[in-house]
Amino acid sequence: MRGPHNIWRLIRTGATLERAGAMNHALDAFEAGPLLRAVARTLAFPFRWLGYKGDPSLPPVSRALTALGPAYIKFGQIMSTRPDVVGPEMANELRVLQDALPPFPVAIAEEEVERELGIKVDDVFSEFSAPVAAASIAQVHKAVLKDTGAEVAVKVLRPGVEKAFRKDIDAFYFAAQMVEFLSPSSRRLRPMEVIRHFDGVVQGELDLRLEASGASEFEANTAGDTGFSVPPVFWHLSSRRVMTLGWVEGVGSGDNDAIDAAGHDRARLGARVLELFLLHALRDGFFHADMHQGNLKISENGDIIAYDFGIMGRIDEYTRRVYAEILFGFIRRDYRRVAEVHFEAGYVPANQDMDEFARALRAVGEPIFGMDASRISMGRLLSYLFEVTERFGMQTRTELILLQRTMVVVEGVARSLDPHINIWEVAQPIVEDYIKESIGPKAVIRDLSRTALVLARFGPRLPELAQAALVKQGHNSGDDEENTHRHGWWFVGGAAASGLVIWLLALSGAF
C-alpha cells in the first residue's frame, strides 16, 4: 500500500544517492524544481551515513542503483531505454548496469523447478548445473534432458522476487506522487506514467510464460531468416516461474579476437546485425529490444544467435510505414517529404509551418550526410530528429523511443564488429524493399482486400443492418420520408459497392 510507511524506503534511497554522489544527477534528469531539491537534500543529507556504499568504480547513478538492489537495477535498465525522460547522457550511463548479482543455491532452484513443473529434476534432467548467469529477476542453469540428450537453458525466478519488487515499486509510486506534488515542472515528464510503464514491464518479466511466448513468436517470425537463429521454447518444461529454452553455443559478439580466430567475417556480421534488426522491425513489427552484445552469439557456422527475450518491441503496421517513409526520405535527402509524412501521420500539429519544419529537418540531416562512412549514425539522426519534432510540438511516442534506443544499441554492436560500416548503405535496400511492399500498388490491393474481407463477414447481416438504418433515420427525421429513403439507399449502395470490391478482388486472385 502506498503511504507514509514508504518514507523510510525513500530516505534510504536518498541517502544512498547522496553517498554515491548521484543525487544531483538524478534531480537534474527529472528536471526537479527548487522545492523538490530542497526536500530531497533535507531528507537525504543528514542520513547519508545510512546509504549503501556501492562500487566506487561505477558511475555515480549506476553505483547507487546497483547498491540499492534488484528493483533499482531493473528500473535503471528500463530508464536507459527512455532518453526522452532521463536525457541521452543519463540513458547512456545507465546502459552499463549489469545483472551480475549473487546467485541463489542450485538446490533452491531445483526445488522451484519441481514445485512449478510438478516433476522430479532427476527424472527429467541427467545434468542440472550450478547457475551460469544471475540477474535481478532470475538466474539460468544449463541442463541436459534425460530422454533426448538435448542441452537446454533453464531460467528460474529468484525466490520471493515478486514480493520484493512489489514493495519497491510501491515506494516508486509514492516517490512519483511526491515529485509531481513538490515539482509541478516535472509533470511534463509524467513521473507516474513512467512508474506505471516500469511496473508493466516488470510484471511481464515476473511471468516467464510471457517471455516464452515472445521467444516463440520471434522464432516463428524469423524461421526463414538466413544466418539467424533463435533457441526453441520447451513449453512442457516452462511455467510462470520457470522457462526452458534450447541451449546456445557460440562466441560472444563482443569478443572480436575469438570471432577472428573462428574465421568469421566481422564486416559481414556487422552488416547482418543491422539488416536483421531493420527487417524484424519493419517486416514483422516485432523486434528484440535488448539486442546488445551480451544477448548475441556467433555460432560455429557463422549464424547470429539471439537470446534473452525479456524486452521485446512491437510497432503496428501504420507506424512501420511512417517510420520507413521517414528513413527513406532521409536516405534520399528529401526533407520536404519527411516533413509531409510527419504532418500526415499527425505527429506534428497541423498549425505548425511545414516549410519551417522541412528546413529544420535539413539542418538535422545534412551535417550527418556530410560525415565519412565510419561516423554516419542512424541513431544520432533519430536522436536529433526527436529533438526537432519536440520543438514543433510532437508528443512523445513510447514505441518510437524504444525503436530509437534499440537502433543505437544495434549500431554499437555493428560498429564494434566493423568500425568502417556505412549504416545507410546497409539500411537502404531493406527500407526500399519494405517501401515497395507496403506503400506501392500491391499494398493498396492488399489493404482493399483486407477491408473487403471485414465487410464480407457482415454479409448475412446486411439486410438487418439496412433495415435498422432505415428505421433509425425514420425516427431521426420524423415524417421526412424522402430523407429516410435517401440515407437508406446510401447504406444499401455502400453495401453493394463493398460486394463489388469483393467480387473484383476474387476475380483478380487477391483471395
DSSP letters for 299-310 = -TTS-EEE---S
Eight-state DSSP code of residue 296: E
* Residues 308-357: tens digit of each pLDDT: 898 888 888 888 888 888 888 888 889 999 899 988 888 888 888 999 99
User: Are β-strands 151-157 and 138-145 bridged in parallel, bridged antiparallel, or unpaired?
Assistant: antiparallel
Mapped onto helix, strand or coil, the DSSP state of residue 314 is strand
Distance of CA 309 to the CA centre of its chain: 11
First to last CA, the chain: 55
The pLDDT assigned to 510 comes to: 47
> Which is catalytic among the residues 225, 290, 308, 418?
290
Tell me the C-alpha distance between 142 and 162, whole Å. 24
Q: Domain limits of the chain?
A: 4-99+167-181, 105-157+207-247, 249-439, 442-507
**What is the secondary structure of 117-170 as a DSSP string?**
HTS-HHHHEEEEEEEEEE-SSEEEEEEEETTT--EEEEEEEPTTHHHHHHHHHH
Tell me the C-alpha distance between 154 and 116, whole Å. 12
The pLDDT assigned to 302 comes to: 92
Cell numbers for 62, please give them.
549506476
Q: Domain spanning 105-157+207-247: which CATH class is it, in words? A: alpha beta
User: Are β-strands 304-306 and 228-229 bridged in parallel, bridged antiparallel, or unpaired?
Assistant: parallel
The pLDDT assigned to 502 comes to: 47
Nearest to 424 by CA among 271, 281, 307, 296: 271
The pLDDT assigned to 209 comes to: 94
Per the annotation, the verdict on 316 as an active-site residue is: no
pLDDT tens sequence for the chain (511 residues):
455 566 777 777 777 777 777 677 776 766 666 766 676 666 666 666 666 777 787 888 888 888 887 788 887 877 776 666 666 677 777 766 765 668 899 999 999 999 999 999 999 999 999 999 888 889 999 999 999 999 999 999 999 888 888 888 888 888 777 777 766 666 656 777 777 877 877 877 889 999 999 999 999 999 999 999 999 999 999 999 999 999 988 998 888 999 999 999 999 999 999 999 999 999 999 999 888 888 899 999 999 999 889 888 888 888 888 888 888 888 888 999 989 998 888 888 888 899 999 998 898 888 777 666 666 666 666 667 777 777 787 766 666 767 777 887 888 888 889 988 888 788 888 888 888 777 666 666 666 676 666 666 666 766 776 677 767 666 655 555 555 455 454 444 554 444 554 444 554 554 4
3-state secondary structure 205-252: HCCHHHHHHHHHHHHHHCCCCCCEECCCECHHHCCCCEEEEECCCCEE
* Residues 444-491: tens digit of each pLDDT: 666 667 666 666 666 676 677 667 776 766 665 555 555 545 545 444
